[in-house]
Amino acid sequence: MLANTKATAKQRFMEFLSRKSLRVTAQRQAIIETVFSTDKHFTAEQLLEWSRERDRSVSRATVYRTLPLLTESGLVREMDFGKDCKFYDPNYAEHPNHNHIICQDCEKIVEFESDKIARLEDEISHKLGFAIKTQRLQITATCEELKKLGACKHKSG
């Protein structure tokens, strides 16, 4: 079997830190491990809570100071789902070009990738004189259950 040459998200973030001469503290490690051991979207507050389960010494300030590093690295992306606070998506390390479908009522979120859409985006952007750096497609929809039953069985609350 060939050696796995693909760096993990955690390793890639460590390299990012090192490239910027930033230090690997215990608190940062707890945060990083939390972020890259889930594929769920999370808020700053959730990240604080989960990180504290690994290391009680993680403070809210450190979480808020680390989040911009994570987004700057490109491995995590800030998401606006129209809620009161921002969510963060850790799946950009694995799937740098994925899109989101958000169910209006049950708030289920499905991620998908589409080369066809990506190609059209490139083509159109180029025609308009731009070179794409990142892209974000969010679709708000209703799911089958909702359409058929008038209410979505996954509805929370």
Residue numbers at the binding site for DNA (CB under 7 A)? 17, 21-28, 43-45, 57-62, 64-68, 84-86
The dihedral built from the CA positions of residue 66, 68, 71 and 76, taken in this order, carries a sign that is positive
Choose between 33 and 74: whose C-beta lies nearer to a copy of itself. 74
Angle between helices 60-72 and 9-19 (to 10 degrees): 90
Q: Does 149 bind a copy of itself (CB under 8 A)?
A: no
The dihedral built from the CA positions of residue 72, 111, 143 and 44, taken in this order, carries a sign that is negative
Among 60, 136, 154, 155, binds a copy of itself (CB under 8 A): 136
| Nearest in space to 109 (alpha carbons), one of 147, 70, 148, 82 | 82
Rounded CA-CA distance 147/154 in Å is 13
Residue 109: which of a copy of itself, DNA, none does it interact with, CB under 5 to 8 A by kind?
none
* Smallest distance from a copy of itself to CB 1, Å: 34
* Smallest distance from a copy of itself to CB 138, Å: 5
Binders in 57-116 for a copy of itself, by CB under 8 A: 78, 80, 82, 101, 103-104, 110, 112, 114, 116
* Smallest distance from DNA to CB 74, Å: 18
* Smallest distance from DNA to CB 148, Å: 33
Rounded CA-CA distance 74/92 in Å is 7
Which stretches of 20-88 are DSSP H helices?
26-35, 44-54, 60-72
For tokens 């009522």, what's the residue? 105
Using CB under 8 A, list all residues that contact a copy of itself. Answer: 78, 80, 82, 101, 103-104, 110, 112, 114, 116-117, 120-121, 124-125, 128-144, 147
